[in-house]
Structure 1
Amino acid sequence: MTKEKLTLVGAQQLVDQWIKQYGVRYFSELTNLAVLTEEVGELARVMARTYGDQSFKAGEKANLGDEMADVLWVLLCLANQTGVNLEEELLKNIEKKTQRDCNRHIHNKKLTN
């Protein structure tokens, strides 16, 4: 494991190395999409119990960071499988949102009251 700051490109490479060393191969893209949905559900459960009206069941614990990391792991797998550079895409996405929404939220009375 590296102690340096991890970039998204580095995270994609790290996941790819782990899959090749320990995972035998990637699950199919559709399987990973199903796994991503499952992991998002697990994250939603922790969020509902931590910040919502539900309480934890006996033996459950708030493992929010671990659940978020599980979601990120599968997303990184899908990016690797489909040839998407998440670092590049995130930067492009931020630019798109900035151009499209630079005034939208600032002038939203629902957010400023």
Structure 2
Amino acid sequence: MTNQSIYTTQEIQKRVDQYISQFKEGYFSPLSLMARLTEEVGELAREVNHYHGEKPKKKTEKEKTVEEELGDIIFVLTCFANSLQIDLSEAFEASVSKIETRDKDRWTRK
């Protein structure tokens, strides 16, 4: 990408909220956001399979990238968090702390 911006999770959540807040409809329901997130993860899987798996793209298929699909997932995930008033930094901290404790002796250290 040409834009080398670095965003904190708070900045990402604020930017998404500013975008969504301009529309009367606002955020989709949690169920709709879950469906949309699932759709985006499926699109990521398809791209990973094209670039790293055994299924090459058809000549007629639009060129997309894994990076583009990851960005879409971040956007939808942020919408999901915002719609439920969840701070992504706090959610990440809780998750990674759990993993660091639970899995500290699970893998071979370098």
- TM-score of the pair, normalised by structure 2: 0.87
Offset at 1:59?
3.6
Q: Give runs of aligned pairs for residues 83-98 of structure 1, distance below 5 A.
A: 83-98=85-100
Which deviates further from its counterpart, 18-27 or 36-45? 18-27
Matched residues, number = 107
**1:13-42 Cα deviation digits (max 9, x unpaired):** 110101112574111111111011001000
Query: In terms of mean alpha carbon deviation, does 69-78 or 86-95 score higher?
Result: 86-95
Instruction: Measure how far apart 1:12 and its partner are.
Output: 0.7
Residue type of the partner of 1:105?
A: W
Letter in 2 for 1:47: V
Following superposition of structure 1 onto structure 2, how do residues 1-113 of structure 1 map, counting pairs within 5 Å?
5-22=6-23, 24-60=25-61, 61-106=63-108
Distance 1:25 1:35 in 2: 15
On the 8 A contact 1:50/1:62 being kept in 2, the answer is no
In 1, the alpha carbon distance for the partners of 2:46 and 2:84 equals 28
Aligned alpha-carbon RMSD (Å): 2.2
Separation (CA, whole Å) in 1 of partners of 2:76 and 2:108: 33
Q: Percent identity?
A: 36
Larger mean CA deviation between 41-50 and 54-63 belongs to 54-63
Note closer, same or farther for the CA distance 1:4–1:94 as it changes in structure 2 (3 Å cut). Answer: same
